[in-house]
Amino acid sequence: MKKSVFFGALTAAALAAGVAGAATLDDVKSRGELICGVNTGLVGFAAPDANGNWSGFDVAVCQAVAAAVLGDPSKVKYVPTTGQTRFTALGSGEVDLLARNTTWTYSRDTDLKLQFTATNYYDGQGFMVRKDSGVTSAKELDGASICIQTGTTTELNLADYFKANNMSYQPITVDSNAEGEQQFLAGACDAYTTDASGLAATRAAFANPQDYVILPEIISKEPLAPAVRQGDDQWTDIVRWTIFGLIAAEEYGVTSANIDELAKGTENPEVNRMLGTEGDLGAMLGLDKQWLVRAIKANGNYGEIFAATIGEQTPIGLARGLNAQWTQGGLLYAPPFR
Amino acid sequence: MTTAHDAPEHSGFRLSQLIYDTRYRSLTIQVVVFFLVMAFVGWLVDNTIQNLNALGKDFNFGFLWQRAGYDIGNALIPYNNDMTHGRAMLVGLVNTLWISFLGCVAATILGVVVGVLRLSKNWLVARMMTIYVEVFRNIPLLLWILVAIALLTEVAPSPNAYKINPETGEAKLSMVFESIAFTNRYTAIPSIHFDRSLGVIDTAFMPISLNVLAIAVVLGLCFWINKRLLAHAGRVQEATGKRPTTWWKSALILVVPTLALLIALGFNPDEPVLKGFNFTGGTNVSNSFVALWAGLSLYTAAFIAEIVRAGILAISKGQTEAAYALGLRPNRTMNLVILPQALRVIIPPLISQYLNLTKNSSLAIAVGYLELRGTLGGITLNQTGRELEAITLMMLLYLAISLTISGVMNVYNNRVKLKER
Amino acid sequence: MSDTHAESVAYVRDTMLKPQPAPAGESGAIRWLRENLFSGWLNTLLTVLGVLTIYFFVSHFASWFLHGVWKADSLAECRKIITAEYGQGATGACWAVIRDRWHQFIFGFYQRELYWRPVLTFLLLFVAVGPVLFQWVPKKLIWFTPIYPFLAVWLLWGGSVWGPILVAVGFVLAWIVFSLVGRYGSIAGFSAGAIVAILFWMFGVSPLAGILHAAIPLGIEPVESAKFGGFLLAITLGAGGIVMSLPLGVVLALGRQSDMFLIKTFSVVFIEFIRGVPLITLLFVASLLLNYFLPPGTNFDIILRVMILVTMFSAAYIAEVVRGGLAALPRGQYEAADALGLDYWKAQRLIILPQALKISIPGIVSTFIGMFKDTTLVAFVGLFDPLKGIPDFIRADFAWKGIYWEPFVFVGAIFFILNFAMSRYSMHLENRLQRDHR
């Protein structure tokens, strides 16, 4: 008679399953919940607090999309994924959206059948060393032991960089950022390499951050972009334009504070189009007119999200750098809402 | 009296016999089960094909011949990032076999010692061994591996501690025997170096050092001659009742030729030297390897200790007493009477412990030691996105390893099994 | 003669000497020490080594344990307190992290106000296994055992009460059909029962549950599997895996013992395949591949997928344990069943399996211990197990960054207590069974 649980579980599963068809938007709407694949814990980007509530830069993207689609930024279920499991989780339909600081690369876009939406953070791989090691440039790392997270683009970049510079190194592979930190702090490796933002976040959390330096060399381009499954253009567009909307909102000075004011109508026709007072851009995405208003209200515009999660006022203390608006000399450039 | 009318009236075959006749029923059941299983497998395959089509993927192992592009820190066979994923898989496979082999050896030695000590009359030691066995058996292996790596990285010094300070001319720490250095990233040990090397045969799989081959051949010959010598001594003992002294001859046969060969080859250890960040010259055994090895050995040894203890306890006390009555000394009693019998009880569960250890070596994931799961089932899977192919291949390889081990050990088990005639 | 004898002796003691205490070296603590610790040079050496080892551990770890801090909000604060109290360079454990986060180690992210549900489920587990495992529990309680799995699923996951009830109804239906059709042969009855039950589960349960729930909305707050973590997850996976794998394991064991070539082959292939690969590869199958094998679009959460693979894994091991039990039964039992004219299924059901399963209980308990320890591996597919998942998650918090040893000690201690108790109990059971068989 004990077979019961098995079938019980299966039936429960079947009840809970729902069918992930081609139209992700319909699934999300009927489920009433957005399932978002996030990092298992990277402070600033996606990490749960003591009560299991998630927050961070990537999480804010999930919340903005949920707000746009479902009208409620809290209707998100976070599925922590490891570097290993993230792409399959997306491919198999386990998550609707993968916002897990994932680098947009050629092979992932084509061969892994992912669809990257829009870059929300321009990153690059860097190195962190102890100050007392006296190393000031990555070129001096010949023969060093380097801690590196497995399952990421960083290990390929590292191999390429050392090969190009005719240097040797000993890779010390670690499974997670937490383990990498432990090994690096204990001195098991001379340098820790990962995305520069990750390095800054990691360094900020050390007991004595001033004892560690991040080397000036950035050895790769790492455009981090939320990804969705290939073959669902409508859903791709929703996520892509939500991100562009957040970026454009900063450009036009739309913030969570003044959005209610601006949503009544402004002088700027583009802002009017974005906020639904002019035309009906939302309908083209299969959403209502107010979609972007809700998305911006969730956590503010791009600049506000950046400042609240990883900006200079936070312990992570990242400067905008490449991630400033194009008008400020950065790379953020949202296509026109027209 | 009734006459028996047992013979069936219809000698022909009726369909109902398929169900009611026990001669045919088993056939029916088997056919039905066969079709059900095949239908189930077919359903799975069909689903897989549909899902693969939906994702626009195919099922092929072509990725094994593509450039891997990543580095492996502890490759036992030559490897660099220009080689293929297939090569990386082989590196992983060799690493799995190597850690399993070393783990089995260490676990067996430790397990036998602990098992025997648990039976020791020494109160303190017996208690300590009981605590060891219980603590290790009841806590997950993963914790021991994590503790081992944490201990190694937190407690051992960094290689810098061995650096000679130019002002004082002294280092903070000096190397053990001037040749071994424990650091928080690896243990630097001397490697073997031959001044007059015989050279290397470069096979596609791995280079075979002629030196090692020569030493192995000479050692093998020495052992063979020694065996002949002992057999001869045995015959003399049978015939005359006196055993000729052999120990010095044995020692001579075993040691001299090998030593001579080593001198001829110009054998000397290549000692590690601190250069820049790290030690070079010797061999650096990475901490992830040491931690995994320590965790696997300590954990499995606790189980082996129990097996050994049970095996020894299974031999009745009468056997010991009989041996004493024959005038055998305690250690000869152990060697000639107790152990050979206990071995028969010990070996079958020991095999399954070896299998467990081999399978548990996949926990290398926790320390980042790149074995089969780390290369094929880890980085390769991730970089190529071929999860179906990679995992299938990985499972088949593990299965092959397991079946080989149990096959070999079963052959051995059959050889030492009590032969009842 | 007596006289002469008396005279030949110069002195006869006429009072008994008082028994002397044994020499100092042959009594009390000294004798015990000599016999047990210093009875030879080897023993002495071992004792000295043992004492040195203990000294090493105590000297290194005692102060760490003794300097423990229980009240602090972060690791930095802990360190400050330790430095303030015990001076610069002193080390100490920061148990405050356990105090702060114990609920996550135990329950994961289960809602705090619902903690009574897993606790109740855990306590009821003992009521359910009591009649099987403990002699002093009244045997009548056995009626609770088959109900328990449904109750546990309902309590843990919550939701409408009708789902689990209807699934249970499926079994009742199967039983009714079996007893009706069973008179035409066990196999016919069994297949008919199975087919009816499966059809009912596939097509009857979810609409009926919907209707019933609409009519009588009986239910408790649902909890999604993603909230499961810590020991709650480990125990659910371990216990669930073992319970669900029992029937499959028994079938596989019988299949392996079968005379029918194909059935035997299938069973052997399944068992050896599962036993030949590491659990972690099966977990990767659960997380990466299972969705490929199911019809396109099917998708259920990772905990259930892991559960399915864990069930398959433990079924192979249970099958081997049960096979041991079957092999241990005296041949006479089989022959007696044959002599009574019982067919195969009746013989198995009434004579062989009850005895074989009883002998197998200690083996099943140790399989469970192994399973329970192995559930820690689910951390590698992104679940929050108590050993790696939860501590890694806690370390992601700024306050507790860099805390390693305290979670290890805490989680290790709980694992040790649970497993040690179970292994002792299984040993006791083994002894009792051996006695029973004499």
Q: What is the pLDDT of residue A19?
A: 40
For B22-51, write each residue's pLDDT tens digit.
677 778 888 888 898 899 999 999 988 888
| DSSP string across A278-300 | SS-HHHHHTS-TTHHHHHHHHH-
Q: What is the pLDDT of residue B418?
A: 65
- Topology given in CATH for the domain delimited by B56-164+285-367+397-421: MetI-like fold (1.10.3720)
| Range 82-141 of A in CB contact (< 8 A) with B | 83-84, 87-88, 91, 107-108, 111-113, 133, 141
For A26-52, write each residue's pLDDT tens digit.
888 888 899 999 987 777 888 887 777
DSSP H/E element including B278: strand B278-280
Which residues in chain B are contacts of C39 at CB distance < 8 A?
A: 121-122
Asked if C150 has any chain A CB less than 8 Å from its own CB, the reply is yes
| DSSP string across C44-88 | HHHHHHHHHHHHHHHHHHHHHHHT-B-S-SSHHHHHHHHHHHH-T
Whether the pLDDT of residue B193 is over 80: the answer is: no
For A251-298, write each residue's pLDDT tens digit.
999 998 888 888 888 888 888 888 888 888 888 888 888 899 999 998
A192 DSSP β-pair partners: A128, A147
Q: Are C222 and C158 in contact (CB under 8 A)?
A: yes
Domain coordinates in residue numbering, chain B: 56-164+285-367+397-421
Q: What is the pLDDT of residue A1?
A: 35
Q: What is the pLDDT of residue B421?
A: 55
Asked if C58 has any chain B CB less than 8 Å from its own CB, the reply is no
Does the distance separating the beta carbons of A16 and C382 come in below 8 Å? no
Does the distance separating the beta carbons of C36 and B124 come in below 8 Å? yes
Crossing angle for the helix pair C116-133 and C144-157, nearest 10 degrees? Answer: 160
- Rounded Cα distance between A42 and A38, Å, is 9
Give the Å distances, CA to CA, from B373 to B26, B364, C290. 42, 8, 18
Whether the pLDDT of residue B310 is over 70: the answer is: yes
- Rounded Cα distance between A16 and C37, Å, is 64
Among the partner residues B69, B288, B385, nearest to A112 by beta-carbon distance: B385
Which residues in chain C are contacts of A89 at CB distance < 8 A?
A: 287
Domain termination site, one of C185, C202, C220: C220
**Same domain for C237 and C260?**
yes
Whether the pLDDT of residue A7 is over 50: the answer is: no
State both tokens at C67: 């300097």
Which residues in chain C are contacts of B355 at CB distance < 8 A?
A: 275-276
Which residues in chain A are contacts of B56 at CB distance < 8 A?
A: 113, 230
Based on C-alpha coordinates, what's the Rg of chain B? 30
Q: What is the pLDDT of residue B9?
A: 53
* Reported confidence tier of residue B11, pLDDT bands at 50, 70, 90: low
What pTM, to 2 d.p., does this model score? 0.85
Q: What is the pLDDT of residue A44?
A: 83
The 8 Å CB, 24+ separation contacts for A271-274 are A273/A337, A273/A338, A274/A245, A274/A248, A274/A249, A274/A337
User: Which position has the higher pLDDT, B396 or C190?
Assistant: B396
Which residues in chain B are contacts of A187 at CB distance < 8 A?
A: 153, 158, 160, 184-185
Domain coverage including residue C250: 99-110+226-437
Of C144, C242, C395, which to mutate for an interface test with A (greatest number of A Cβ within 10 Å)? C395
* Reported confidence tier of residue A85, pLDDT bands at 50, 70, 90: confident
Chain B partners (3+ C-beta pairs within 8 A) = A, C
User: Which position has the higher pLDDT, A18 or B58?
Assistant: B58
Asked if B55 has any chain A CB less than 8 Å from its own CB, the reply is yes
* Reported confidence tier of residue B2, pLDDT bands at 50, 70, 90: very low
Crossing angle for the helix pair A3-17 and C205-215, nearest 10 degrees? Answer: 80
* Reported confidence tier of residue A241, pLDDT bands at 50, 70, 90: very high
pLDDT in tens, chain C (438 residues): 455 555 566 778 888 888 887 777 777 777 777 777 777 787 888 888 889 989 988 888 888 888 888 888 888 888 888 888 887 777 788 888 888 888 889 988 888 888 889 999 898 888 888 877 777 777 777 788 888 888 888 888 887 888 888 888 888 888 888 888 777 766 777 778 888 888 888 777 777 877 887 777 777 888 888 788 889 999 999 888 888 888 899 999 988 888 888 888 999 999 999 999 999 999 988 888 888 888 877 767 788 889 889 999 999 999 989 988 888 888 888 888 888 888 777 888 888 888 888 888 888 888 889 888 989 998 888 888 888 888 888 887 777 877 888 899 999 999 999 999 988 888 888 887 776 554
Whether the pLDDT of residue A164 is over 50: the answer is: yes
Among the partner residues B184, B288, B385, nearest to A186 by beta-carbon distance: B184
Q: What is the pLDDT of residue B10?
A: 55
**Same domain for C294 and C244?**
yes
State CA A105 to chain mean position distance.
Answer: 15
State CA C215 to chain mean position distance.
Answer: 40
| DSSP string across A166-187 | T--EEEEEESSHHHHHHHHHTT
| DSSP string across C87-146 | -TT----BTHHHHHHHHHHHHBT--GGGTHHHHHHHHHHHHHHHHHH-TTS-GGGGGHHH
CA angle B162, B167, B169 (to 5 degrees): 50
Whether the pLDDT of residue A304 is over 80: the answer is: yes
Whether the pLDDT of residue A17 is over 60: the answer is: no
Q: Are A7 and C154 in contact (CB under 8 A)?
A: no
**Same domain for C301 and C355?**
yes
- Rounded Cα distance between A120 and A65, Å, is 13
* Other CB atoms within 10 A of residue A96 CB: 29
- Rounded Cα distance between C234 and C231, Å, is 5
What is the average pLDDT score of chain A?
84
**Same domain for C418 and C345?**
yes
Question: CATH says A125-220 is which class?
Answer: alpha beta
Whether the pLDDT of residue B398 is over 90: the answer is: yes
Structural domain includes residue C143 = no
Mean pLDDT value of segment B389-400: 92
CATH number of the domain enclosing C382 = 1.10.3720.10
Of C392, C403, C404, which to mutate for an interface test with A (greatest number of A Cβ within 10 Å)? C392
Q: What is the pLDDT of residue B250?
A: 82
Asked if A20 has any chain B CB less than 8 Å from its own CB, the reply is no
Among the partner residues C101, C284, C396, nearest to A47 by beta-carbon distance: C396
| Range 239-268 of A in CB contact (< 8 A) with B | none
CA angle B282, B283, B285 (to 5 degrees): 145
ipTM value: 0.86
From B183's Cα to the closest Cα of chain A, the distance in A is 8
Sign of the four-CA dihedral C127, C131, C135, C136: positive
For B103-145, write each residue's pLDDT tens digit.
999 999 999 999 988 888 788 888 999 999 999 999 999 999 9
**Same domain for C24 and C169?**
no
* Reported confidence tier of residue A5, pLDDT bands at 50, 70, 90: very low
Mean pLDDT value of segment B184-189: 78
**Same domain for C289 and C332?**
yes
Domain coordinates in residue numbering, chain A: 21-122+224-252+292-328, 125-220
Does the distance separating the beta carbons of C50 and B122 come in below 8 Å? yes
Q: What is the pLDDT of residue A237?
A: 92
How many structural domains is chain C composed of?
3
| Range 233-252 of B in CB contact (< 8 A) with A | none
From C387's Cα to the closest Cα of chain A, the distance in A is 14
- Rounded Cα distance between B303 and B350, Å, is 9
**Same domain for C231 and C353?**
yes
Q: Which residue of B has its CA nearest to C418?
A: B138
* Reported confidence tier of residue A4, pLDDT bands at 50, 70, 90: very low
Question: CATH says A21-122+224-252+292-328 is which class?
Answer: alpha beta
**Same domain for C202 and C334?**
no
Structural domain includes residue C355 = yes
